[in-house]
Structure 1
Amino acid sequence: MKIIRIILNVIVIVFAAYVLFIEDFTLMPYVMLTMGIFMLVAGFEKIQKDRKEFWGYMFVIVSIFIFFVSAQGFIVNA
């Protein structure tokens, strides 16, 4: 789980840096989608470590919101 989280973290950073430097914001939904996947994996990792941890559940809730925003971005850019 930790390796997947690190790989997703690198992908999110590369995507975000590319969008910022090129200033092509049509790729922003992809950045948000990978960020949502990263937050979901990080949340599940925190929940597995400690069953009563608040931040694990918060990461999962935030990732669901990010998926919603990403889906809206895909619809608007279509």
Structure 2
Amino acid sequence: MKIIRIILATVLVAFCSYGLVTGTTGIMLPYLLLLMGGMFLIMGVIEFQKRKPVAFTSFLVAGFSFFVGIYTI
């Protein structure tokens, strides 16, 4: 899980940097939101395994991010 979170964060930072350099942030926004939703989902699972109450918030943020990402595509 930790490796998947690091990979998602790295890809997210790379896409954000590419979007800022090329000026295509509007086109890439739905894909960035989907990647961010995946990252929050993985973080929520990790926190849920540790029995921390912040896991519920991470799941809500992931769901909202997925919803907005799919809606804007």
**What's the TM-score, normalizing by structure 1?**
0.86
Percent identical? 35
Q: Where does structure 2 lack aligned partners over 5 or more consecutive residues?
A: none
Number of residues paired by the alignment?
72
TM normalised by structure 2 equals 0.91
Consecutive unaligned residues of structure 1, counting only runs of 5 or more, are none
> CA shift at 1:29, angstroms?
0.6
**What is the Cα-based RMSD across aligned positions, in Å?**
0.9
Give the 4+ runs in structure 1 shifted more than 6 A.
none
Matches within 5 A, 1:1-78: 1-24=1-24, 25-50=26-51, 53-74=52-73
- 1:34-57 per-position Cα deviation (integer Å, ceiling 9, x unaligned): 11001100111110112xx22111
- 1:60 and 1:21 map into 2 onto residues whose CA distance is 31
